[in-house]
Amino acid sequence: MGNLLLAVIYVAFISLGLPDAVLGSAWPVMYHQFAVPVSYAGVVSMIISAGTIVSSLMSDRLTLKLGAGRITAISVAMTAVSLGGFSFSSQFWMLCLWAIPYGLGAGGVDAALNNYVALHYASRHMSWLHCMWGLGATAGPYIMGFALTRDFGWNNGYRWISILQIVLTALIVLSLPLWKARSGVSAAAADAAGDGAGETAAADAERKPLGLFGVLAIPGAKSILIMFFCYCGLELTTGLWAASYMVLNRGVDADRAAAWASLFYLGITAGRAISGFMTMRFDDPTMIRIGQAIIALGVIVIALPFGGTMTPLVGLILIGLGCAPTYPCMIHSTPTYFGADKSQAIIGVQMATAYLGSLSAPPLFGLIANHVSIGLFPVYLGVILVLMVLMHENLRRVHAHQSENSRKLPATAKKRGSVGTE
């Protein structure tokens, strides 16, 4: 039953990635039909991102009330309806309207599924889960491209993806008993199995939502939130500006630079498939450090003044491979650092800060490129990476200090205070 549910969760993450890159693929045709400036794609994107931030911050409260399975089903249904609304939109304001439930649904399923897998499955499944997202993000533009090249129009491209989401919603609804069965394991059975599900279910039944300020008050929480901000800022800045850097600073042909930039995401997707096997040998903190070291190597290679046009290509692939284990292992380590009872609240805020990083870091580098030099691209990435490394090491120190204090407590006090420190 656990493997069947895991397959459903994998498919759900493919679904989460499906529409993510579709707007960019369709927009060159869409903005002409809507008679709006090409820059208006940013308006739709910002509305979607704002929705994901709101639903991520609400995920702890909603998951406590409805459960991860129902939240996932409702969220995927919202994205399906929203994509269908996109396909029938005839004016720009309609796109903006449908972007609201799309963003809310995407943030809800992201936070709920990440926490569920972090609590109930091994680290390798988190890496493979995010590999599935990469497959979806690759398939979405392909579906839209097929619709455009075969003269079906962007409307039908969105419509087909919406139908896929509707089918997935039905699949998740049918799988709801599996979610309940896995989450409803008795405490005794869970302890015997060593998976902690019984403790998690009991804690969830008693606790109240933490809220944003409650999360920020937890020792180490600020460090991991800054890590998420930095990671997504680094990933999105690389994806958005790599091609421009290669063309304007390294003299690469524009068509070739665009093709090479896509290898960054290929590196992430392939790297997550590989890192899933690596997690069988290395724990989450070690995988994060390995990822950060590979990213650092990639940034250094991009900055090298020699090597011609191949140097930035190799650097981009290395950054993608380094990003591969970093993000999934950051999520999967959250229950270990903060306890199963707090993980949903913290992961929800993590998703929100991740989207904030995605929203702010790439435009900030755009200002630097415009007013100073696009040649600062590797320097900018390096600064973000250093901050992320510092926050990870600080998180490790805080966790070690908390664990040491827990060991020094009397047995009865340790029993009362152990949740959230081990």
pLDDT digits (tens, 9 = 90+) for 326-364: 999 999 999 989 888 888 889 889 988 998 998 888 888
pLDDT for residue 69 is more than 50: yes
pLDDT at site 202? 46
pLDDT for residue 64 is more than 60: yes
pLDDT bin (cut points 50, 70, 90) of residue 410 is low
Token pair, residue 273, equals 């498939």
Q: How many residues does the chain have?
A: 422
pLDDT for residue 230 is more than 80: yes
pLDDT for residue 199 is more than 50: no
- Interval 196-203 mean pLDDT: 44
State the Cα–Cα distance between residues 298 and 339, nearest whole angstrom. Answer: 34
State the Cα–Cα distance between residues 298 and 409, nearest whole angstrom. Answer: 45
Which residues have a Cβ under 8 Å from the Cβ of 292 and sit 6 or more positions away?
Answer: 322, 326, 385, 388, 389, 392
- Interval 72-96 mean pLDDT: 93
pLDDT at site 224? 94
Which residues of the chain does CATH 1.20.1250.20 include? 7-175, 212-417
pLDDT for residue 18 is more than 90: no
pLDDT for residue 416 is more than 80: no
pLDDT at site 207? 60
Question: Which of 412, 228, 404 shows the shortest CA–CA distance to 333?
Answer: 228
21 secondary structure, DSSP code: T
CATH class given for the domain over 7-175 = mainly alpha
- Interval 69-94 mean pLDDT: 92
pLDDT for residue 67 is more than 90: no
Exposed, middle or buried: residue 376 (CB in 10 Å: 0-12, 13-18, 19+)?
middle
Q: What is the CATH number of domain 212-417?
A: 1.20.1250.20
pLDDT at site 293? 97
Half-sphere exposure in the Cβ direction for 340 (13 Å, CA): 19
Question: Which of 242, 393, 379 shows the shortest CA–CA distance to 311?
Answer: 242
Token pair, residue 213, equals 């300020």
Select the more confidently predicted residue: 277 or 310: 277
pTM, entire model: 0.78
Q: What is the pLDDT of residues 179-196, one digit of tens each?
A: 876 555 433 333 333 344
Residue 411: what are its φ and ψ, rounded to 5°?
-55, -40
C-alpha triplet 305, 320, 326: angle, nearest 5°: 120
Highest mean pLDDT, choosing among 9-23, 41-55, 82-96, 129-143: 82-96
